Amino acid sequence: MRNHDSVNTKNELGMVICKVCNEVLYTLPTNRLKKFYVVCHKEQCVSKTREGDMK
Ligand SMILES: [Zn+2]
């Protein structure tokens, strides 16, 4: 019986975060803490970004 999940998360220090809603979209296996800011696919976030770009 293996418990993969608890082992796997140990090195997942890279976090991909939506810069609009601040939700952690997924994690990446990195050896140090890193944050990547992106925009998720929620309509509210996409449209907000679009408005900001247009100004
Ligand atoms: Zn979002």
Q: What is the pLDDT of residues 4-48, one digit of tens each?
A: 565 555 688 999 999 999 999 999 999 999 999 999 999 999 998
Label residue 52 by pLDDT band (50, 70, 90): low
Sign of CA dihedral 22, 19, 8, 34: negative
pLDDT value at residue 4: 59
Q: What is the per-residue pLDDT for 12?
A: 87
The candidate with the shortest Cα–Cα distance to 48, out of 24, 28, 21, is: 21
Give residue 7's pLDDT: 54
Distance, CA of 19 to CA of 5 (rounded, Å) = 27
Question: Cα–Cα distance between 52 and 49 in angstroms, integer?
Answer: 5
Ligand 1 centroid vs 18 CA: distance in angstroms? 5
d(CA 44, CA 35): 22
DSSP assignment, residue 38?
A: E
d(CA 15, ligand 1 centre) in Å: 14
Ligand 1 midpoint to CA 32 (Å):
24
**How many Å lie between the centroid of ligand 1 and the Cα of residue 54?**
18
